[in-house]
Amino acid sequence: MLLQQIFNGLALGMGYALIAVGYSLVFGILRLVNFSHGSVYAFGAEIAMVFIVSMRLGIIPGILLSMLFTGILGILIDKAALEPLRKKGSPPIASLITTIGISNIVTNLLIIFLGSEKRNFPNFFGHSGIHLLGGTVSMTQIMMCVISVILMLILVFIVFRTKIGLAMRASQQNAKAARMMGIDVNFVIRFTFFLAGVSAALAGVLIAGYYEIVYPNMGFMAGLKAFSAAVLGGIGSLPGAILGGLIIGNAESMAVMFLGSTYRDSVAFIILILVLILRPNGLFGRKGITKV
Partner 1 sequence: MLLKIEDLHTNYGAIHALKGVALEVNEGEIVCLIGSNGAGKTTLVNSIMGIVKPAAGKIIFDGRDISRVPTYSMTKAGIGISPEGREVFPELSVEENLRIGAFVVREQRQIKESRERVYELFPRLRERRQQQAGTLSGGEQQMLAVGRALMSNPRLILLDEPSLGLAPNFVEMIFAMIRKINAQGVTVLLIEQNANMALQVSSRAYVLENGIVSMSGKASEIAGNPLVKKAYLGMA
Nearer to partner 1, 68 or 166 (CB): 166
What three-state secondary structure class fits 136? strand
Q: Are strands 119-120 and 213-214 parallel, antiparallel or unpaired?
A: antiparallel
DSSP state of 263: G
Selected binder of partner 1 within 109, 185, 224, 257 (CB under 8 A): 185
- At 222, the amino acid letter reads A
- Applying CB under 8 A, which part among 22-30, 168-176, 189-197, 238-246 lies near partner 1? 168-176
Nearer to partner 1, 128 or 290 (CB): 290
Q: Does 291 bind partner 1 (CB under 8 A)?
A: yes
- Applying CB under 8 A, which part among 5-13, 111-119, 159-167, 224-232 lies near partner 1? 159-167
d(Cα 269, Cα 227) in Å, to the nearest integer? Answer: 10
Q: How far is the CB of 131 from partner 1 (least distance, A)?
A: 46
Selected binder of partner 1 within 30, 167, 208, 214 (CB under 8 A): 167
Q: Does 229 bind partner 1 (CB under 8 A)?
A: no
What three-state secondary structure class fits 115? coil
C-alpha distances out from residue 9 to 19, 32, 142, 287, Å: 15, 28, 12, 29
Selected binder of partner 1 within 109, 179, 256, 269 (CB under 8 A): 179
Q: Where are the beta strands (DSSP E) in the chain?
A: 119-120, 129-132, 135-138, 213-214
Nearer to partner 1, 103 or 172 (CB): 172
